[in-house]
A and B are shown apart, each in its own frame.
Chain A
Amino acid sequence: MNKTADVIIIGAGIIGAATGYYLSKKRLKVYVFEKAFPCYGSTGRCIGGIRAQYAHPLSIQVMIESIKIFSTLRDELNRDVEWYQGGYLFLAHTEEKKRTYLEAIKLQKQFGLPVEFISPEECSRIVPGLNCEDLLGGSYSPYDGQANPFAVTYGYLEGIKKHRGKIFTYTEIKKINLTGEKVSSVVTDKNEEYFAPVIVNAAGPWAKKIGELVGLSLPIEPERHESLVTEACERLFDPMIVDYRPDGCYFVQNYKTGHFIGCYTPIPNDPGDHLDASSTFLTEMPRRMVRLLPKLRHLKVLRQWAGSYEMTPDGNPIVGATPIDGFYVSAGMCGHGFMFGPALGKLLADLITEGKSSISLEEFSYNRDFSRKELMK
């Protein structure tokens, strides 16, 4: 078999799959290496939410591009990726939260997003049965939505195969070889060597370890986040509900299957790449869901699992070139990787082939100042 490609991608999550797809569409030969199976990492463990409601201009721009792509992905990949524009509703239970949302809305409107701060009455009109106790209102955008991470990722990977590329599953990258200051090949756990002048680190929670293979220290640390899915029921409402209280949670009903899927951000955070599921979550998450929406109490939980948020110091991803010639990073997605994936894939493909992208990713660069924080993370 031919062991030389134009680009080698490490990791078959949404980032590796999307980046590989847009590169292969530019007629580059792409090899994707995955230590387990596609979606083994965070992508297969996420809840599929997609939103442009951010407090950082670049994130808003990237997400407008991503939503454009999601809405045409069915035709592009010839597969139902279950994109549904059901919106996102961020609940404000404190004056401080409300102010944060109002500030963000000003910015989001500059980019033309149809976001409004709505009253508790309007919130409960959109989400019938919502518990409005202490609720001051919510930041609502019908422009946001949901899609199926498995369908999107496998769809992109099938596309890579159609364009001469190859996906190596159950194949772990153990070593990256440099020639001078330039990447030249990777070595797998089967001790096989594959060559390419460009290597993309899309290893999600393991991106730091891949960086270490070329002596690069990437500030990306995984944290455990847990999630659960309930049985299906008739459609109750459209948007993802986000409750950012310290004991809040986020969940959405899959518009197609009717399952509810959700998670919360643990306090304190839970560092490390361990993926065990806890009994605390299995009882705490239902309490938080039922508090927000008492009528869900009869719905049964089918499954719980854990995954990683790949955190950077400022809550934004690291995307682009590095001091090692030919070595690119697209990782540290901070819990937003599924939704960022399509746009970042396309932009990084442009950056790799043309040296620039239509939206500048400078602010996500490897050597930026990490002290400015994303407020809607």
Chain B
Amino acid sequence: MKKEIIICRCEEVTEEEIVKVIKQGYTSLNEIKRILRCGMGHCQGRSCLPVIARLISKYNRKPLSEIRFPTSRPPLKPIALGILAQYHKSLDKNRNE
């Protein structure tokens, strides 16, 4: 039996699913992210996107250097709504001073 290899741990996306989408003709990280959600979880793709880039490179014989990474989105580490909301108040106070 073939072992299931999870590439995106946050969103539980397997290598098999990713290769299937690459073979359908989706060859950019930006598209694969939007189809499979890999890179949309807690780690923001830090661990999976480089691996997926290598898969794209392998299946399309495309140099790794040509594969563009999706935009990094703030906050780079998850922060609680309540903490951000308080930060807003302190920002406001600073502005008024």
Contacts and interface: CB of A to CB of B under 8 A. Distances in A.
A300 B78 contact: yes
B28 to A, nearest CB: 6
Interface string B6-41: 000000000000000000000010110011010011
A150 B34 contact: yes
Contact of B82 (A37, A44, A286, A305): A286
Classify chain B: how many residues form its interface, as a range. Answer: 20 to 34
Interface in B53-97: 71, 73-75, 78-82, 84-85, 87-89, 91
A38 B35 CA distance: 10
A111 interface: no
B42 interface: yes
B85 A303 contact: no
A296 B81 contact: yes
Interface stretch (A84-92, A277-285, A327-335): A277-285
A154 B35 contact: yes
Classify chain A: how many residues form its interface, as a range. Answer: 20 to 34
A301 B35 contact: no
A154 B34 contact: yes
Nearest to B39: A303
B81 A301 contact: yes
B75 to A, nearest CB: 6
A220 B24 CA distance: 35
B34 A301 contact: no
Interface of B: 28, 30-31, 34-35, 37, 40-42, 44, 71, 73-75, 78-82, 84-85, 87-89, 91
Given A170-B28, A283-B87, 9 more contacts: A39-B34, A154-B35, A230-B81, A282-B74, A283-B84, A286-B85, A290-B85, A301-B81, A303-B44
9 contacts: A37-B28, A38-B34, A229-B40, A282-B75, A286-B81, A287-B88, A287-B89, A297-B85, A301-B84
